[in-house]
Structures are given as C-alpha cells and as structure tokens.
C-alpha cells in the first residue's frame, strides 16, 4: 500500500478539476492512502514580486517536508519517465512503507531552494497549468499502482 502526500499551492477552483480529483482519489483508495495538502498561494501583482512570493510559499512547503529521500518535486527540469518506469519508482516507496511527498508549485513555479529538497520529476516537456498537473500526477500514480498490482494497462 502506498502512502503519499501531494502538497500543492492553491485550490482547485474549477468544478471539472475538482470532479476529476475526486474520481482519482476514489480509484486510489484500494491502493493506498493519498492526502492532498493545499497551501494558500501568495498573491503578487508585479512580476518583480514573483520571486518573493515563491520564497514565501517555499517556507510553507518546507514545514511539511521530512526528508529528501521521500520528496518528489514536480519540475520541468526533472527526470521524465514512462508509466512503467514511474510504477517502478512508486514501488520503491511501497516496499519500504515510507510516505512519498509530491510537491506541485503555483502558477509562478517553485523556489529554487525547494527544487533542492528532493528528487526532480517531470511530467513531460510540455508546460501544464498547475491544476492540470495535479490531475495528471494523480492519474499517473493510479496508473503506476495498477501496473504494480499486475493489472493490464494501455501503453
């Protein structure tokens, strides 16, 4: 059974995203405990203030991190994996019983200091809105866990 926490900056405002998240969390229940932790996004009104906002958000994120070994930071600079590779990656956490913590930044991204707090993983070369990245991550966790359980999946 996987124990995972997904730390996200901001709330899902759109009904469609909320419904998709609920659906994937429901599908994931037989495979483990997945917790979503929402951190309030720090508003900024000028591009010059975006770095200060990311740093403030970084302080909130760091309070929730325990160890680099179990932290996965979603970032475009991260390692890209196939679904099968991601499933194997998840199994390393399942086998130890260690909780894995995923971190997704806000629309302005993540502080550089947060990117040093764990393993960098990318969902692909394209840029996704952070709310969509949240759904894609849940889908890939679900797909990975179904692969690990021996269920057939579409390649």
Which CA distances in Å does 1 have to 29, 70, 96, 112? 10, 15, 10, 32
Give the count of domains, the chain: 1
Let me know if residue 47 belongs to a domain: no
Which CA distances in Å does 73 have to 49, 139, 143, 147, 151? 23, 17, 19, 22, 27
Q: What is the CATH number of the domain that holds 89?
A: 3.40.1280.10
> Measured between alpha carbons, how far is 129 from 117 in angstroms, rounded to an integer?
22
Q: What is the pLDDT of residues 76-120, one digit of tens each?
A: 999 999 999 999 999 999 888 889 999 999 888 899 999 999 999
Q: What is the pLDDT of residues 122-133, one digit of tens each?
A: 999 988 898 999
Let me know if residue 48 belongs to a domain: no
**Tokens 């991260």 identify what position?**
78
Domain hosting 121: range is: 2-41+53-148
> Measured between alpha carbons, how far is 107 from 129 in angstroms, rounded to an integer?
7
Let me know if residue 153 belongs to a domain: no
Q: What is the pLDDT of residues 133-154, one digit of tens each?
A: 999 999 999 999 999 998 876 6
């Amino acid at each position: 059974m996987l124990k995972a926490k997904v730390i996200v900056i901001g709330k899902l405002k759109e009904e469609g995203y909320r419904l998709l998240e609920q659906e994937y969390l429901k599908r994931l229940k037989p495979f483990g405990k997945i917790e979503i932790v929402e951190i309030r996004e720090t508003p900024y009104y000028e591009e010059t203030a975006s770095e200060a906002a990311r740093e403030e958000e970084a302080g909130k994120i760091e309070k929730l991190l325990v160890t680099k070994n179990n932290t996965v930071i979603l970032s475009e600079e991260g390692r890209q994996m196939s679904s099968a590779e991601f499933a194997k990656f998840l199994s390393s956490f399942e086998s130890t019983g260690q909780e894995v913590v995923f971190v997704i930044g806000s629309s302005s991204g993540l502080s550089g200091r947060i990117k040093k707090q764990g393993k960098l993983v990318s969902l692909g070369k394209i840029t996704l809105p952070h709310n969509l990245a949240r759904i894609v991550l849940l889908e890939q966790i679900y797909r990975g866990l179904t692969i690990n359980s021996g269920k057939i999946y579409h390649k």
